[in-house]
Structure 1
Amino acid sequence: MTEKAAERAYAYTKDRIIRGHLAGGERLSEGQICAELAISRTPVHEAFLRLESERLITLSSRQGATVNPVPVSEAADVLEMRGILERTAAVRVADRRRDAAEIDAALREPLERQRSAMTERDVDAFVEADCDFHAAVVGLAGNPLATHFFGLLRDRQLRLAYLVLTSSDVMLAESFADHQDLADRLRTHDAPGYDAILARHLARHQGLL
């Protein structure tokens, strides 16, 4: 029972940090989470230890927990690794001449979710679809290790995306347009074209952090 409560506290608090509901520098107490979830302090403490190990919070005996802001260096590192994995995937898709219909099938769903999210002004749904689009590109390369490593970046990618894509409606439109262009380049096996658009896409994100 305690284990399930700890997992619940962990998932709840982590989700709030990733979505920006708990901002960098904000103080957070175990008692606060206990009250919000109606659970005891022990599982919340276990959850906080786990979040600290993931460098999402810093624990102090005097101040409790503090949400760690996204360091500029970490943001650059995440975008760099994401770019390397995705560019490599695009080259592999082009070299293997993946069928255009298979590419469409993999990318259609996240693109449709993004379009719908823009219409409904649902930033949360847009951000999730954004990350799923790029994960689908990496998945099309058929490299299980690349897919695994890309998945390890997902939480940090989501947090960055929430920071960037909540800045304006214009940013959502620009991001969606980039995704449509990226899908077109992948479909036609244009790896250099994909690389150029991705570089612009990631540079825009970096510039807003």
Structure 2
Amino acid sequence: MYLKDSATDRTYRFAKDAILSRRYAGGELVSEGDIAADVGVSRTPVREALLRLEAEGLVRLYPKRGALIVPVSQQEINDVIETRRLVEGFTAERAAGAGESARLDLAAALTGHLEEMRAGLESDRHAFILADREFHRAIVTASGNEILINLYGSLRDRQLRMMEEGARTVERMRRNIEEHSAILAAVRAGDPAAAREAVRAHMDSAATLLGSNR
């Protein structure tokens, strides 16, 4: 049986997308009424959606006033990069140390995501970003650890709103592809140390781009 999304789910996705895309800017106070009008729902699902976003650290609620969009801090940037290093270094190392059949299956999936990144390089930046995210998600998912999988999704959400407009240049995107290729090669070759090192180098680049000191 097909179940329609609830009003809370729709409101949650709308508000979260507005925060991550920075339509709702950090430091802005957004009222429940404005969100309800934008989504076309009552205030009850808005309150429920905002409670979920508060639990994720994206908003701070003020009764009768609305939701403050939590600004991105240097501490948050540093924490996201540090945690991504731990999660993705570990899962890439584990993926590269798996059996040959599992490694080759993962390598095939990663190759597909890499081809999508190359296809989106010049003409479709949104497709590039999605393929980039799915490349990393495939490695984390291969670990079979649901907690790490969910944590990865949260980290990438947070990182999305940290990216300054114009920071993702074509030159940076090409370098991103090269760094992903090194991770893929290490997984395919079954070299855990090389996989961890390739992720470290990739995270170093991300840290530089975001201004992190970790």
TM-score between the two structures when normalised by the length of structure 1: 0.83
Mapping of 1:2-17 within 5 angstroms?
4-17=6-19
Given the alignment, which residue of 104, 108, 116 partners 1:105?
A: 108
1:156 is matched with which residue?
Answer: 155
Q: What is the aligned-residue RMSD (CA, Å)? A: 2.4
Superposed CA offset, 1:15-41 (max 9, x none) = 221233322212212122122112122
Cα drift, residue 162 of structure 1: 5.0
Distance 1:94 1:40, change over 3 A: closer
Which structure 1 segments of 5+ residues have no match?
none
What secondary structure is seen at the aligned counterpart in 1 of 2:14?
helix
CA distance in structure 2 between the aligned counterparts of 1:188 and 1:206, rounded to whole angstroms: 27
Cα drift, residue 57 of structure 1: 0.6
In the alignment, is residue 21 of structure 1 matched against residue 23 of structure 2? yes
Counterpart of 1:168, as a letter, is R
The size of the alignment, in residue pairs, is: 203
What secondary structure is seen at the aligned counterpart in 2 of 1:59?
strand
2:195 is matched with which residue?
Answer: 194
Which structure 2 segments of 5+ residues have no match?
none
TM-score between the two structures when normalised by the length of structure 2: 0.82
2:124 is matched with which residue?
Answer: 121
Cα drift, residue 63 of structure 1: 4.3
Given the alignment, which residue of 39, 42, 47 partners 2:41?
A: 39
**Which runs of at least 4 in structure 1 moved beyond 6 Å after TM superposition?**
none
1:74 is matched with which residue?
Answer: 76
In the alignment, is the contact (CA less than 8 A) between 1:30 and 1:44 conserved in 2? yes
Cα drift, residue 179 of structure 1: 0.8
In the alignment, is the contact (CA less than 8 A) between 2:116 and 2:131 conserved in 1? yes
Cα drift, residue 8 of structure 1: 0.9
Counterpart of 2:75, as a letter, is S
CA distance in structure 2 between the aligned counterparts of 1:66 and 1:4, rounded to whole angstroms: 24
1:178 is matched with which residue?
Answer: 179
Cα drift, residue 5 of structure 1: 1.1
Cα drift, residue 56 of structure 1: 0.6
Select between 106-115 and 162-171 the one with higher mean Cα deviation.
Answer: 162-171
